[in-house]
Amino acid sequence: MKQCKFVLAGLVLVFLLCGCNSNTNSNALMSVAALQKIDQEKRALREQQEEKERGRIRCQILADKVVKEMIYIKDERTGQCFVYFWSGTGSGGPALATVPCSSIPASMLYVGNSK
């Protein structure tokens, strides 16, 4: 069955390339060029979509890492709560931001003693 497909494809290609007159040949070549262009455009679109998906996955991995490594701290002296994060890499220093204490579950909150 595969051999029949190859033979048929070969015959179609020969017909397209060697057709009846030069006008037919140029139309066949234009059709092949048009099909190649369409194929290239589809391939480029697919590559763009794949790159976008890889970027989304990288961002999700980063978000998961940050959430897992954040530490919630309460300053007992002021009653202020903070979220602390540092990736531990040389690409940036630690980050500290204030957050409402009421939004932090007690099991995730560390209370700092200044004593």
Per-residue model confidence as pLDDT tens digits over 13-57: 555 555 555 555 566 666 888 888 899 999 999 999 999 999 999
Residue 11 predicted with pLDDT over 50: no
On whether both 63 and 78 belong to a single domain, the answer is no
pTM over 0.95: no
Range of the structural domain that residue 112 is part of: 70-115
On whether both 61 and 79 belong to a single domain, the answer is no
* C-alpha atoms less than 13 angstroms from C-alpha of 102 in its C-beta half-sphere: 0
Would you state the pLDDT for residue 26?
Answer: 61
On whether both 14 and 54 belong to a single domain, the answer is yes
Give per-residue burial for 84-114: e unless 16+ CB within 10 Å, then b.
Answer: ebeeeeeeeeeeeeeeeeeebeeeeeeeeee
Per-residue model confidence as pLDDT tens digits over 99-113: 999 999 999 999 998
Count of domains forming the chain? 2
